[in-house]
Amino acid sequence: MAKSLLVVDDSATMRKIITRTVRKAGLSVDDDIKEAGDGNEALTRLEEGNVDIILCDINMPGMGGLEFVKKVREDPTKASTKIIMISTESADELIDGVKADGADGYVTKPFTPETIQKELTPYM
Amino acid sequence: MPDTTEEIQSKVLDLTVEAFSTFAEDIETMFDTEVTAQQSDITEGTPDDLKDAYKKLAAVCSVTAEGAVNGEFHIIFDKDGVFTLPGTFVMQPEQVILQNRKSGKQEEAQEIGDALAEVGNLLVGAWDRIFREELEGHKHFVQSGTFIGNVWANTEESLRIKPDEELSILSFEMTVAPLPPFNCSVIYPKSVFEPVAEAPSEEAPPEAEAPAEETPAEETPAEETPAEEAPAEEAVPQAEVSAEEPKEAQDKGPVTEAISKMAESPAYLPGDFSDVSGILSGLKAKDVMRKQVSWATAEATVEDLVAKMQQDDTGYIMIGDGEKLQGIVSKSDVRGAMSPYLQSMFAKWRSSMDVATLQIKSKWVMSRPVRTVTPEASLQVIVQTMTEHGGRCTPVVDTAGKVVGTITVFDVFYALLNCSTASQSAGRAVEAPPLA
Ligand SMILES: [Mg+2]
Picking from A57, A68, A89 by the largest number of B CB atoms within 10 A of its own CB, the best residue to mutate is A89
Single-letter amino acid code for the residue at B226: P
**What's the CATH code of the domain at B36?**
3.40.1550.10
Distance (Å, rounded) from C-alpha B242 to C-alpha B208?
Answer: 11
pLDDT tens readout for residues B17-30: 999 999 999 999 99
Residue B318, helix vs strand vs coil: strand
**Strand segments (E) across chain A:** 5-8, 34-36, 53-56, 82-87, 105-108
Whether residue B68 sits in one domain with residue B12 = yes
B103 in a structural domain: yes
Whether residue B296 sits in one domain with residue B259 = yes
Q: Mean pLDDT, to the nearest integer, of A30-44?
A: 94
B434 in a structural domain: no
Q: Is A16 on the interface with B (CB under 8 A)?
A: yes
Please count the structural domains in chain A: 1
Whether residue B168 sits in one domain with residue B30 = yes
Which comes out higher in pLDDT, residue B122 or B370? B122
- Give the relative orientation of helices A113-120 and A12-24 as an angle to the nearest 10 degrees: 70
pTM given for the model: 0.58
Q: Is A74 on the interface with B (CB under 8 A)?
A: no
pLDDT tens readout for residues B291-346: 889 999 988 999 899 989 988 888 999 999 888 888 999 988 888 888 877 877 77
**ipTM, interface predicted TM-score of the complex:** 0.91
- Cα of A11 vs centre of ligand 1, distance in Å, is 6
B229 in a structural domain: no
Chain A residue whose CA is closest to B353: A97
pLDDT exceeds 60 at position B228:
no
Q: Mean pLDDT, to the nearest integer, of A4-17?
A: 95
Closest Cα of chain A to B31: distance in Å? Answer: 8
B11 in a structural domain: yes
Q: What is the pLDDT of residue B415?
A: 83
B316 neighbors B329 (Cβ within 8 angstroms): yes
Whether residue B64 sits in one domain with residue B10 = yes
Q: What is the pLDDT of residue A38?
A: 94
Q: Is A93 on the interface with B (CB under 8 A)?
A: yes
Of A14, A70, A100, the CB nearest to B118: A14
CA B390 to chain centre: 26
pLDDT exceeds 90 at position B287:
no
Buried b (16+ CB within 10 A) or exposed e, A86-114: bbbbbbeebbebbbebbbbbbbebbbbbe
Please count the structural domains in chain B: 2
Whether residue B182 sits in one domain with residue B74 = yes
Distance (Å, rounded) from C-alpha B6 to C-alpha B81?
Answer: 31
Q: Which of B221, B255, B281 is the last residue of a domain?
A: B221
Q: Mean pLDDT, to the nearest integer, of B233-247?
A: 37
Distance (Å, rounded) from C-alpha B280 to C-alpha B277?
Answer: 5
Q: Which chain B residues touch A101 with a CB distance below 8 Å?
A: 352, 355
Whether residue B81 sits in one domain with residue B191 = yes
pLDDT exceeds 90 at position B84:
yes
Picking from A9, A13, A60 by the largest number of B CB atoms within 10 A of its own CB, the best residue to mutate is A13
B392 in a structural domain: yes
- Cα of B58 vs centre of ligand 1, distance in Å, is 22
Q: B93 lies in which domain range?
A: 5-195+207-221
A124 in a structural domain: no
pLDDT exceeds 80 at position B230:
no
pLDDT tens readout for residues B398-433: 888 889 999 998 888 888 887 766 655 444 444 444
Q: What is the pLDDT of residue B260?
A: 52
B431 in a structural domain: no
Of B29, B114, B140, the CB nearest to A11: B114
- Cα of B242 vs centre of ligand 1, distance in Å, is 33
Q: Is A96 on the interface with B (CB under 8 A)?
A: yes
CA torsion, points B256, B258, B259, B260, in degrees to nearest 10?
A: 80
pLDDT tens readout for residues B116-154: 999 999 999 999 999 999 999 999 999 988 999 999 988
B233 in a structural domain: no
Whether residue B259 sits in one domain with residue B162 = no
B38 in a structural domain: yes
Is A97–B350 a contact, with Cβ atoms under 8 angstroms apart?
Answer: yes
A3 neighbors A28 (Cβ within 8 angstroms): yes
Q: A76 lies in which domain range?
A: 5-119
B183 neighbors B80 (Cβ within 8 angstroms): yes
Whether residue B147 sits in one domain with residue B295 = no
Is B121–A88 a contact, with Cβ atoms under 8 angstroms apart?
Answer: yes
Of B124, B347, B355, the CB nearest to A88: B124
Distance (Å, rounded) from C-alpha B255 to C-alpha B436?
Answer: 13
Chain A and chain B share a number of CB contacts under 8 A equal to 81
CA distances (Å), origin B134, targets B7, B19, B391:
14, 11, 50
